[in-house]
Amino acid sequence: MAPLLEIKDLRARAGDKEILKGLFLTVNAGEVHAIMGPNGSGKSTLAQVIAGHPAYEITGGEIIYQGEDLAELEPEERAQAGIFLAFQYPVEIPGVTNAYFLRAAYNEIRKARGQEELDPIDFLDLLESKLDLVEWGPEIVQRAVNAGFSGGEKKRNEILQMAILEPKLALLDETDSGLDIDALRIVANGVNALRRPDNAYVVVTHYQRLLNHIVPDFVHVLADGQIVRSGGKELALELEAKGYEWLTGAVEASA
């Protein structure tokens, strides 16, 4: 079976600054990949480039998702094709309720797939059925999107959105940053409950602790825009013990 995602020699920049410098990554359905690396290594950029963030320009290589080159697709087309980015800093949209926002997204995706749209009442039922996953009560659906939410609430909201939109490829961009232990548990439990043989997760994180909860099949270390080491989940523990210098130093030595 063809991989879900295949990244070949990807190069990308923000403005004049080259950030990804020839990156290779293959993700199959059913897998969880962790992308680790020091600050500035390009790991968040990787997630955002896959989602189509307009701040980045692809200057070389390709991102093949389900056999299609993503560079040709608008961000919304990528989402409609099943890609989901859980933002490191989810955006506040005062004036629009969670229910409205998610229904708009859900129905646009259904429309793009030639499926029937859900009316507000049926959608609300669907939304409420997913609240337990993030341990929320029904009042959340009428709150404005992320407006005045704590850091932990914003991340839980990303997981709730993911539960509704059911992506094939979910990119979690530092979803663990700024979370207390309780929120971390809720977020991780949510992700684990949503894991299926036909979807995959790319978990971008600076720290090993999230990976105690969301256990990866593969761990990749990113440094200076390239993957410098790949391994199993034990690689994360090794990194935790030895620090990133262990590998980033290795890059300099080999360069």
148 near other proteins, judged by CB under 8 A:
no
Gyration radius of the chain's alpha carbons: 18
Count of residues that interact with other proteins, criterion CB under 8 A: 30
Secondary structure of residue 183 in the 3-state scheme: helix
Q: Out of 58, 124, 131, 165, which residue is the one contacting other proteins (CB under 8 A)? A: 165
Q: Minimum CB separation from other proteins for residue 116, in Å?
A: 15
Question: Which contiguous run of DSSP H or E holds residue 33?
Answer: strand 32-36
Q: Is 190 in the site for other proteins (CB under 8 A)?
A: no
| 91 lines the binding site for other proteins (CB under 8 A) | yes
CB-CB contact of 120 with 103 (8 Å): yes
Could you say whether residue 52 binds other proteins (CB under 8 A)?
yes
Per rule CB under 8 A, is residue 42 in the interface with other proteins?
no
Question: What are the phi and psi torsion angles at 210 (to 5°)?
Answer: -60, -30
For residue 76, state whether it binds other proteins (rule: CB under 8 A): yes
Give 153's DSSP letter.
Answer: H
| Cα 128 from Cα 134, distance rounded (Å) | 11
**Would you say 76 or 132 has its CB closer to other proteins?**
76
Q: How far is the CB of 42 from other proteins (least distance, A)?
A: 19
Taking CB under 8 A as the rule, does residue 193 contact other proteins? no
Question: DSSP string covering 78-90, please?
Answer: HHHTTEEEE-SSP
58 or 250: CB nearest other proteins: 58
d(CA 17, CA 39): 15
Q: Which two tokens stand for residue 158?
A: 């990303």
Give the binding site for other proteins (CB under 8 A): 51-54, 74-76, 78-80, 84-85, 87, 90-91, 93-96, 101-102, 104-109, 112, 161, 165
